[in-house]
Chain A
């Protein structure tokens, strides 16, 4: 499978945030998006997922069934975690596992991988910001999807959790997946290329 971004243009509020960006990403490759605030990291990630309409150029996933639609083939971890406060940690993750289509067989391993197994029965409303983040990230592990789009995945994670996240992402990439991560903190994954987005002149 191959993600192709060709001459992508995205405008936000009349301003060209991404102007003619092209790159390709193949199986087993990772891409680290860096750049100052406002450089368009989130915009690029959301445009790849199809949540933002591109004003020009193409985003395509070669080798997927419906090549034009990246959405069903990617995981997007955005700024918000998609965690319901009144459901327990386990219920939250089980919902995503069943909804995204792979059944809930991977839920328990995912919970223990991210250190949430002990608090499986706690309503998610009582979790700390970092624990909620980990629960959001656990979604990556319960449904298999080739492309991971991570927007500031390390926000509110402690050092140990950041390390776990790095191994999870590295494992995905090593297993033939693709990952694009926008982050200020280097994840320390050698296999990832870096793409610097410049601040757009206002």
Chain B
């Protein structure tokens, strides 16, 4: 069971790195969104540094969403998904492998790029570790919930827009508790465990439950 899972995961990561389009688009989009926001808000450095974690989190959600509809699209187009579903892995684990691959190739690079963009927003130095930390804890939920939307909108033309409508509301807890943890850490020691624990719990629940929903959605489209 484990060998085919790892095989599928490495194939997906290798394909994403080799084709490069999805990662490049997501990172570029992230850069541009963060770069144009100060132009709209004005050059008030205090304001920017105060709202920087929130901006970085929101922009990360949007960038990760941008590539979420591709999680199953190519495999569905070329018949790979059909053959995968007849393989030794249950469809739930196929969905999980592909969500992990999305996390590794999109969400993780975005989270690691966030501190660089924080420089552009004059973010406080003390906010960098909590920012990256909460993103590492919260982004698995984004990839796994995104995979549900990708499964549901598979085979639809212009599915990407529908995907955003379906999935963005589900990202709200990640955003609230991600930014909440950062504020709590900046406010003082101690108080951040509760929001961080809820963020982690949300991620864990998404990792466990989303593949079930995604597999059910994929079965409709096979």
Contact = CB atoms under 8 A, between A and B. Distances in A.
Interface of A: 49-51, 71-72, 74-76, 78-87, 95-96, 98-101, 136, 139
B84 interface: yes
Contacts of A79: 79
Contacts of A84: 15, 74, 78, 80
A100 B85 CA distance: 11
Given A72-B86, A87-B18, A96-B83, 20 more contacts: A49-B86, A50-B86, A51-B85, A51-B222, A75-B86, A76-B86, A78-B82, A80-B77, A80-B78, A80-B82, A81-B79, A82-B79, A84-B15, A86-B18, A87-B11, A95-B7, A99-B8, A99-B84, A99-B87, A99-B88
Interface in B62-93: 74, 77-80, 82-88
A95 B14 CA distance: 12
Contact of B88 (A51, A72, A78, A82): A72
B85 A98 contact: no
A77 B84 CA distance: 12
Interface in B110-166: none
Contacts of B78: 80-85
Given A80-B78, A81-B78, A82-B80, A95 B87 contact: no
Contacts of B4: 98-101
Contacts of A87: 11, 14-15, 18
A82 B82 contact: yes
B3 interface: yes
A88 to B, nearest CB: 11
Interface in B27-79: 74, 77-79
A100 B87 contact: yes
B83 A82 contact: yes
Nearest to B5: A99
A86 B88 CA distance: 24
Nearest to A53: B219
A76 B11 contact: no
Closest 3 CB pairs of A and B: A80-B79, A82-B80, A82-B79
B85 A71 contact: yes
B83 A76 contact: yes
B83 to A, nearest CB: 4
A160 to B, nearest CB: 24
Contacts of B3: 98, 101
Contact of B19 (A71, A86, A139): A86
B32 to A, nearest CB: 26
Nearest to A100: B87
A136 B11 CA distance: 17
A81 B80 CA distance: 7
A101 B88 contact: yes
Contacts of B15: 84, 86-87
**Which of B7, B82, B86: most chain A Cβ within 10 A?**
B86
A62 to B, nearest CB: 19
Nearest to B76: A80
Contacts of A49: 86
A81 B79 CA distance: 6
A84 B16 CA distance: 12
Contacts of A78: 79, 82
A202 B174 CA distance: 52
